[in-house]
């Protein structure tokens, strides 16, 4: 059974780059274009990991992070912030809210794929 990675980012190229980095593995990469859609996809698709941008229309990544971590059904899903936001205060804020890793754009797809695989290796599947 493949592991699901949900990429919540208003730039569709990001999900494509992550998919390319994960080629040959047993991963399904799903995409959401904004925070609100991302929350809906988490409920509908039960991803094993969420990659989350900070600045998005409708709902930013910090609000998505807060909502996911506040519910028992989604609190254990690992989260990776992938953003162009380099402010140290944002890194600290995301870590305080429970993000597993904070990655700055631009990124190398293969390096990010290695990180995601490492996180998923030690994470039980969320798939129902």
Least Cα distance to 52 among 39, 61, 41 occurs for: 61
Q: Is residue 126 part of a domain?
A: no
pLDDT digits (tens, 9 = 90+) for 51-78: 999 989 889 999 999 999 999 999 999 9
Note the pTM of the prediction, 2 decimals.
0.88
Q: Is residue 96 part of a domain?
A: yes
Q: Is residue 128 part of a domain?
A: no
CATH at 28: 3.40.50.2300
pLDDT at 83: 83
Domain range holding 114? 3-121
Q: Which DSSP symbol is given to 15?
A: H
Please give the full DSSP string across 12-37, using - where no structure is assigned. HHHHHHHHHHTTTSSEEEEEESSHHH
Total domain count, the chain: 1
Q: Is residue 11 part of a domain?
A: yes
pLDDT at 128: 45
What does the block give as tokens for 57? 């229309």
pLDDT digits (tens, 9 = 90+) for 87-109: 777 778 888 888 888 888 888 88
pLDDT at 25: 82
Cβ count near 105 (within 10 Å): 14
Q: Is residue 94 part of a domain?
A: yes
Q: Is residue 127 part of a domain?
A: no
How far apart are the C-alpha atoms of 56 and 12, rounded to whole Å?
12
Q: Is residue 39 part of a domain?
A: yes
What does the block give as tokens for 113? 């794929």
């Amino acid at each position: 059974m493949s592991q699901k990675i949900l990429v919540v980012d208003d730039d569709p190229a990001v999900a494509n780059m992550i998919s390319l980095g994960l080629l040959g593995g047993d991963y399904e990469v799903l995409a959401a274009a904004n925070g609100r859609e991302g929350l809906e996809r988490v409920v509908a698709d039960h991803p094993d990991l969420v990659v989350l941008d900070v600045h998005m229309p409708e709902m930013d990544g910090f609000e998505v992070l807060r909502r996911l971590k506040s519910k028992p059904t989604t609190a254990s899903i690992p989260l990776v912030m992938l953003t162009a936001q380099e402010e140290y205060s944002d890194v600290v804020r995301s870590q305080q809210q429970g993000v597993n890793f904070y990655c700055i754009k631009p990124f190398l797809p293969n390096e990010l794929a290695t990180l995601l695989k490492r996180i998923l290796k030690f994470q039980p599947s969320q798939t129902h």
